[in-house]
Structures are given as structure tokens and as C-alpha cells.
Structure 1
């Protein structure tokens, strides 16, 4: 039976003891008359203080419902802060995480709204940082990055705006480096090699015009490097 069900069917209860939960530093079990062996409800320290949930305090069923709801909201927000400790998160990632933790949808959305208000969850900022980082760190073009952002729950327009912000010259430079690095490992006749390189760059999400320029520079550099060998012969 959850706290809400308890509240609907219970009479006024009196707290007989309060015990800190060993594995959860800031949470406490509250025991009431008739429930000495099992805790009646567990709450965070902040909720306990807010509602003055100390030994001898009597709790009305309607108040118990409010306490349970406030504790759920508090737990959802605390879990969100903890989840953000590893890296930034999107709205979708946060919602999925809170659902996995057993937080109901309403409490989760309230927590996410608060995190957004505090700019701790910001899909637009996340998308811009993600796109720039993946372009430079993984040599991925704007088209693939747009797809990856959508997979993370970023809205279509937000994903497009973030990738449109990428510096076109930098993207071309990165594509050229990727093409030059890949070219020596591609086998076949020159035309076949160009076709394979084009497929490789397109799969990495670079636009057609960028791919064309990257191939041109990769082939030109390869031909330039071959010239000394031809002169030696």
C-alpha cells in the first residue's frame, strides 16, 4: 500500500518514533501507533522539518497525502541533481531516468520544470555544446549530429538550430582531415576509391558540398606526395 492509499483509508495517527535510514543519509522512517515493527512512511529530512514530523506529532489523513506528495517531489528533484552530476542531460533523458527510479510522471515533470527554471536542464544549450564537441572530438558532420540529437529527445527545430550554428569552415577542415587520414586505407582504382571515400564521409554526416571539397583536397594531397617518388624514378 502506498502513502496515498494509506491516507485515504487511515485515521489520524501519532508519531511514536523517528529513525534515520542507514543507507540513505538524509531520509527518516516514521513509526506510528500500531506500526512499531514497520515504518509508516519514509521522508527526507527537509520534509520532516517542514511539516514538523517529530515524536508525538499527530497527522491527519489529508495531511499525510500532502506530505507524501511533497516528499515525492523533493526526491524527484534530488535524483535529478544527482543524475546531472555526471554530465548534462536532456529533458527526455531526465524523464526516462526519473521513471526508472519509480517517480510518477507528474512529480517528474514538476522536478524537470524546476531544473529548467534553474537552467540545469536546457535542451538548446545541451544541443549546441553536444554538436560542437562531437564535431571536433569525433569528426561527425552536422547531418549525423542532428540525427543523434533527435535520438536524445531534442526537438527537431532545436537540433537544426544547434547544428546550423556550427562553423562551416571548421566543419570543412575537419572533413578534409578525416578524408586525408582515410584515403591511404581505401583500395581500388582512383574512381572507386573516390566513391568509397564519398560514402564514408556522407555516413559521418557531412553535407555534400563539404564531402566534395574534402575528397578534392585528399586526392590532391595524395598526388602531391606521390610526385617526389616519380621524380626519383
Structure 2
């Protein structure tokens, strides 16, 4: 935060002498105190202004000022979180890292995440389930790679494993066949070498060994000029 958002500690009374709306931020206001107009004393959200009746002429004692600053920071963490997860779903870890980059303190981050969790706006279990299913279907990645990616995003080990266990075995095989079918025409070498390359490719995409074996058998058994093969290559 900059100085206008988190004022330094004051031992005496401060009085609001001027209020200005922050440019390009409809619901935030600069507060000027004790006649100082060069730099705002702090910036607060409209909700904080209403809650603490921060009007021109209002006098604020040091203890109350400390409370206002803390509440303003918590509110900022929450609103930043709302905006961030509004772009696309996020994990707790991703949101925490984002708020840290924005200069929010750890306690305010924890409180914001707890509130968003209570409101069901952020949910690692739901995120993991959706992520695994969508990445399998859209990016043709196997369960092993998907589990690694979930862990990298901060999903707890058990939550990630449960999401992976929910994947349909038949669908995973179908996606492995699809991925293999796309790759097979571009592999060079003798049949045995091409088969080995295809197996390696599918293993690297996170498909389990038994799925890879079944998928490779399906892919190499199809004539490359077959209509169904052409569909797989699209």
C-alpha cells in the first residue's frame, strides 16, 4: 500500500478537513486531515466511510484510527479478491499470492479468503474437480499430470487425489486415443520406433501405463487413411 492508504501511526487527534473522490475509482475517497492538502492522509472505500461516518469535520482518535485502517485493509483485500476471482476461478494459494503482491498483510489475506470461502466464492474442492475434468477433455492430459498441476496450484494432496479419482476411466482412455491419434501421423521412423515414441508422448502427458498401452494399441491398429482416423486428426 502507499502512504495514502496506510497512514503512519499518530499519537494525537486528527480531523478530516477535506474529502476527494479517487480518480478512476468510483467508490474510493481520499481523506485530507488537519488542513494538509498536498497529500491525502489515507484513501478509504465508500463502505468504510459510511461505517465510521468519515465526514468533513470529523475528529478521529488514535485508537479508532487504527481500527479504521485495519478495516479498510480487510475491505480492500476482499474487494481485490472479488475482482481477481471474477476473471476466472482461483485456488486459495493463487489468491493469497495475488493479494500479497498487492501489498496486503497476511492477516487481512486470511480473513478475506475465509470470508470468500464462507460465501462459496472460492472453493478448492470444486476448483479441483472442474479443473481435472476440463483439462482432461480440452487439453488431453492424463490424471498423473493433472494431479501434479493441481498440487502446483496449491490444492491439498487429498483434495487433488479425490478430484483425480472422480475422472471417468473410459473418458480418459478416449482422450488418450484422441491425443495419440493426433500425434501418430507426425512420428517418424520404423513402426517399432514410432510406437515407442507414441508411448513416450502419452506417458509425458500424464496418462497411466495401462491407459497408454490400450490407447497405443487402438491408434496403431487404425489405417491412416481411414475416415475415423481423419476425424481423430482434426
* TM-score, length-scaled by structure 2: 0.91
- Partner SS, residue 222 of structure 2: helix
Deviation at 1:20, TM superposition (A): 1.0
Distance of 2:40 and 2:31 partners within structure 1: 6
Where in structure 1 are there 5+ consecutive unaligned residues? Answer: 226-233
Which residue number corresponds to residue 63 of structure 1? 64
Which residue number corresponds to residue 229 of structure 1? none
CA shift digits 1:34-67 (9 cap, x unpaired): 4232222211110001000101111000000000
Deviation at 1:4, TM superposition (A): 6.8
Q: Which has the larger radius of gyration?
A: 1
The alignment yields a C-alpha RMSD, in angstroms, of 1.7
Distance of 1:209 and 1:57 partners within structure 2: 72
Q: List aligned pairs for 1:65-80, cutoff 5 A.
A: 65-80=66-81
Distance of 1:59 and 1:208 partners within structure 2: 68
CA shift digits 1:145-200 (9 cap, x unpaired): 01111111111111111111000000001111222222222122222111111000
- Partner SS, residue 222 of structure 1: coil
Count of residue pairs the alignment pairs up: 224
- Partner SS, residue 114 of structure 2: helix
Q: Go from structure 1 to structure 2 and tell me whether the alpha carbon gap of 1:179 and 1:11 turns closer, same or farther (over 3 Å shift).
A: same
* TM-score, length-scaled by structure 1: 0.91
- Partner SS, residue 8 of structure 2: helix
Distance of 1:181 and 1:106 partners within structure 2: 49
Distance of 1:156 and 1:71 partners within structure 2: 35
Deviation at 1:114, TM superposition (A): 0.5
